[in-house]
Amino acid sequence: GENVEQHPSTLSVQEGDSAVIKCTYSDSASNYFPWYKQELGKGPQLIIDIRSNVGEKKDQRIAVTLNKTAKHFSLHITETQPEDSAVYFCAADQAGTALIFGKGTTLSVSS
């Protein structure tokens, strides 16, 4: 089955800096790679996703890149703000039927 590794587990940045979170996956058949943001006491919220026919996708300050050959994908947040502080999860689909999650990255943005 699919296995997803996520790094780093914690990330501290200054407001205005960029943050990058990286994930690798094991199953070359995976085609869907979403990123979720989880704030304290809430459920995971989708922030951006990418499918395997696309190498990069951007939505304002957030971008995701995908390298299918190397089986890794990354989340890039530019101009970070204190409200970006949360736990971020990457995921990959398993046979299109379920999501397998990385272990999460706790991002802290200090002002």
Partner 1 sequence: DTAVSQTPKYLVTQMGNDKSIKCEQNLGHDTMYWYKQDSKKFLKIMFSYNNKELIINETVPNRFSPKSPDKAHLNLHINSLELGDSAVYFCAAGVPSTDTQYFGPGTRLTVL
Positions touching partner 1 (CB under 8 A) are 31-32, 34, 36, 38, 41-46, 49, 87, 89, 93, 96-101, 103-104
Q: How far is the CB of 72 from partner 1 (least distance, A)?
A: 18
Residue nearer to partner 1 on the CB measure, 12 or 18: 12
What's the min distance (Å) between Cβ of 63 and partner 1? Answer: 18
**Minimum distance from CB of 16 to partner 1 (Å)?**
27
Q: State the burial class of residue 86 (Cβ atoms within 10 Å of its Cβ: 0-12, 13-18, 19+).
A: buried
- Report the alpha-carbon distance of residue 85 to residue 110 in Å, rounded: 9
Query: Contact at 8 Å (CB) between 91 and 102?
Result: yes
Residue 75 CA to residue 72 CA, distance in Å, equals 11
> Residue 54 or residue 98: which is nearer to partner 1 going by CB?
98
Residue 35 CB, nearest approach to partner 1 (Å): 12
CB closer to partner 1 out of 42 and 111 = 42
Q: How many helices (H) and strands (E) does the chain have?
A: 0, 11
